[in-house]
Amino acid sequence: MKSYFFPFLFLIGITNFLFSQEKLIINTYNRQQTSLNGYWKYIVDPYENGFYNYRYEAFDKQEKPGRAAYFTNSKRKNKSDLIEYDFDKMDSLRVPGDWNTQKEKLFYYEGSTWYKKSFDYIKSESKNRVFVYFEAANYKADVYLNGEKLGTHVGGFTPFNFELTKLLKNEDNFLIVKIDNKREKDAVPTLNTDWWNYGGITRGVKLIETPPNFIEDYFIQLNSEDNEEINISGNLNGVSKNKQKVSVDIPELGITKHFVTNKDGSFSGSIRSKNIKYWSINTPYLYTVNIATTKDAITDQIGFRTIATKGADILLNGESIFLKGISIHEESLSSKGRAHSVNDAKELLQTVKKLGCNYVRLAHYPHNEHMLRLADQMGILVWEENPVYWTISWENQQTYKNANNQLSEVISRDKNRASVIIWSMANETPTSAERYVFLKKLADFTRKKDPTRLISAALEQSNFEGNPLIKTIHDDFANVVDILSFNQYVGWYDGGIEKCKTIKWKIDYDKPVLISEFGAGAKFGLHGDKETRWTEEYQEYLYTETLKMLDQIEQFRGASPWILADFRSPRRVLPEIQDGWNRKGVVSEKGEKKKAFFVLKNYYNNK
Ligand code: GCB
């Protein structure tokens, strides 16, 4: 018997390893909360001594982990005691923040680091529940409270939460998190990327307090086929969630709708109004929406708009729009490393506005929630992207589950943001049958979870019948997407700039074409003639010629050139030019504008 059960249990074990996490609580912006941001003690643990014993067995899988396990936060009790670590004598790291740019010795570090935060906490109502919510931690997080494991989360750019209620004390709690950012072939993303693998608790951490039954999740958006109907669904979390009354109130529309939950704690329905002021790029109108039960209440600011395609047109509220965009990596313009604050988001999106954009591509992974909240307020349309990048392990089921889980988390977090119009499945992935199955499954999943938005992926172009001067799309996944997006680098990786003048396009799809990337490297302040690589003039000329070239594509409806700002990448080592930075920004890493910035701005102003 035992031998039959063992593999089965083992499989469950693996699945749990990825998903030993709880359902996401959404809209933590507007909930009762206590920040755990600030300084956390840390231990760098490249050999994972605090996690495995000397036989390489995980401490947290054992009934009695023993005091050598770092998550027990053990202290020497008497002078003969042997404990080989002490969090309280260690240095600290700021949370949120990557470790690479905080400590010089950790600049290139990839591996495990333990974080510890001690805190007191008294609940405002004794029956209330408390959760710890991480906005993101890269890449794998094992979370423990007061020596007990809460769970594991995999994926560096999406939020997760664990309930603490049973383990929480009024005083001297210690939250310990092991973060591991080792790159792995079967992970999402995989080993190879053109960006820095910033490690750590890169976004904020907070405690969320809720009543015993609370509003965990809701989805409130305009019906994409009927702009007088708002669809509403959601669910409660708690032991007695059946037959609970829920109300959704939009005061400015003078509408209140009542629901009763089913046995799963879910509710759904719709409301109608002829007076909806639509969210758009010029009037990003947000309604206050109140969701309440007899015990819980939460408010959100939600915009209502439709987004659709018709032939080659992208229709925002039924009107054709050209997406004047730019790609962005999540790096701060004024401080070092990963962007995480409201201020970082403001600087990035204000620069985007100065460029004359109405749209951003948040590449190559989900960015922090401030970006989406702000885009909602500023009237900027957004492409959000799953970190399925380059050479993912298409045949590995765990890799698929991981990609699916990360996508599911970002959709859960941002599905009420009017600014988000496109979910991107992947970037520059090489075509194959296995990759098609993987991406198609992701697209089907996304359409089911969110039928209100468009699906795309940054594909690659190829030569038509071997002719390097005729470009086409040879990719079955192009039939699946709503918007046909692709990256192209004629004039940089593909010939010189003059080649742009000779290219013809053969794109036989009646779909909008969005150029997800084009660009050239230029060092800010380096000048020369327009044929000299790395000069601002080369980049300026490439932008001029590329835009002329793209204008010849009949279905051309938008672009997100690569990229807003120079960003760190270990692939970019050319001394005096790159020095560890990908130089394709239209501004430098500090926000200084290069000449190409003005070419693009001018193009968008006249579009
Ligand atoms: C690409 C990738 C992007 C790179 C860029 C480049 O096609 O999608 O991640 O950074 O090219 O600079 O080569």
Distance 397 CA to ligand 1 centre (A): 27
State the average pLDDT over residues 454-471.
Answer: 97
Distance 48 CA to ligand 1 centre (A): 33
State the average pLDDT over residues 60-77.
Answer: 95
Distance 188 CA to ligand 1 centre (A): 17
Query: Among candidates 307, 314, 349, which has minimal Cα distance to 328?
Result: 349
Q: Is the CB of 427 under 6 A from ligand 1?
A: yes
Distance 571 CA to ligand 1 centre (A): 11
pLDDT of residue 1: 32
Query: Among candidates 85, 436, 127, 130, which has minimal Cα distance to 444?
Result: 436
Q: Is the CB of 359 under 6 A from ligand 1?
A: no
Q: Which two tokens stand for residue 94?
A: 């700021």
Ligand 1 atom index nearest CA of 427: 8
Distance 457 CA to ligand 1 centre (A): 14
Q: Is the CB of 280 under 6 A from ligand 1?
A: no
Q: Pick the residue whose CA is nearest to atom 7 on ligand 1.
A: 487
Q: Where are the beta strands (DSSP E) in 242-295?
A: 245-250, 255-260, 266-272, 287-292
pLDDT of residue 9: 38
Query: Among candidates 138, 129, 174, which has minimal Cα distance to 157?
Result: 138
State the average pLDDT over residues 269-292.
Answer: 98
Distance 194 CA to ligand 1 centre (A): 6
Whole-angstrom distance, CA of residue 45 vs CA of residue 64: 21
pLDDT of residue 11: 39
Distance 46 CA to ligand 1 centre (A): 30
Asked whether residue 445 carries a pLDDT value surpassing 50, the answer given is yes
Distance 518 CA to ligand 1 centre (A): 9
Q: Is the CB of 594 under 6 A from ligand 1?
A: no
Cβ-based burial of 177 (10 A; exposed 0-12, middle 13-18, buried ≥19):
buried
Residue 599: count other Cβ atoms within 10 Å of its Cβ: 21
Q: Pick the residue whose CA is nearest to atom 9 on ligand 1.
A: 194
Q: Which of 364, 392, 487, 562 to mutate to test the pocket of ligand 1 (most atoms within 8 A of CB)?
A: 562
Collect contacts of 281-288 with beta carbons under 8 A, ≥24 apart.
281/316, 281/321, 281/358, 281/379, 281/380, 281/381, 282/379, 283/379, 284/376, 284/377, 284/378, 284/379, 284/418, 284/419, 286/376, 286/377, 286/418, 287/250, 287/252, 287/253, 288/250, 288/251, 288/252
Asked whether residue 16 carries a pLDDT value surpassing 70, the answer given is no
Q: Is the CB of 517 under 6 A from ligand 1?
A: yes
At 19-68, the pLDDT tens digits run 566 899 999 999 999 999 999 999 999 999 999 999 999 999 999 999 99
Query: Among candidates 385, 383, 401, which has minimal Cα distance to 393?
Result: 401
Q: Is the CB of 385 under 6 A from ligand 1?
A: no
Q: Is the CB of 487 under 6 A from ligand 1?
A: yes
Q: Pick the residue whose CA is nearest to atom 10 on ligand 1.
A: 194
Q: Is the CB of 461 under 6 A from ligand 1?
A: no
Ligand 1 atom index nearest CA of 487: 7
Which phi and psi angles does 324 have, rounded to 5°?
-90, 95
Buried b (16+ CB within 10 A) or exposed e, 202-220: bbbbbbbbbbbbbbbbbbb
Q: Pick the residue whose CA is nearest to atom 3 on ligand 1.
A: 194
Whole-angstrom distance, CA of residue 85 vs CA of residue 200: 20
Q: Which two tokens stand for residue 286?
A: 């947000």
pLDDT of residue 22: 84
Q: Is the CB of 518 under 6 A from ligand 1?
A: no
Q: Which of 428, 429, 492 to mutate to test the pocket of ligand 1 (most atoms within 8 A of CB)?
A: 428
Q: Is the CB of 562 under 6 A from ligand 1?
A: yes
Q: Which two tokens stand for residue 14?
A: 């693996």
At 323-361, the pLDDT tens digits run 999 999 999 999 999 999 999 999 999 999 999 999 999
Q: Is the CB of 114 under 6 A from ligand 1?
A: no
Q: Which of 582, 583, 586 to mutate to test the pocket of ligand 1 (most atoms within 8 A of CB)?
A: 582
Q: Is the CB of 582 under 6 A from ligand 1?
A: yes
Cβ-based burial of 390 (10 A; exposed 0-12, middle 13-18, buried ≥19):
middle
Residue positions counted in the chain: 607
Q: Is the CB of 589 under 6 A from ligand 1?
A: no
At 542-597, the pLDDT tens digits run 999 999 999 999 999 999 999 999 999 999 999 999 999 999 999 999 999 999 99
Average pLDDT of the chain to the nearest whole number: 96
**Which residues, at least 6 apart from 593, have a Cβ–Cβ distance to it below 8 Å?**
586, 587
Q: Which of 194, 459, 487 to mutate to test the pocket of ligand 1 (most atoms within 8 A of CB)?
A: 194
Asked whether residue 15 carries a pLDDT value surpassing 60, the answer given is no
Q: What percent of the chain has pLDDT over 90?
A: 96
Element (H, E) at 538: helix 536-550
Ligand 1 atom index nearest CA of 516: 8
Q: Which of 330, 385, 429, 517 to mutate to test the pocket of ligand 1 (most atoms within 8 A of CB)?
A: 517
State the average pLDDT over residues 10-20.
Answer: 44
Ligand 1 atom index nearest CA of 193: 9
Q: Pick the residue whose CA is nearest to atom 4 on ligand 1.
A: 194
Work out the angle between the directed axes of helices 397-414 and 433-449 (0-180°, nearest 10).
30
pLDDT of residue 20: 60
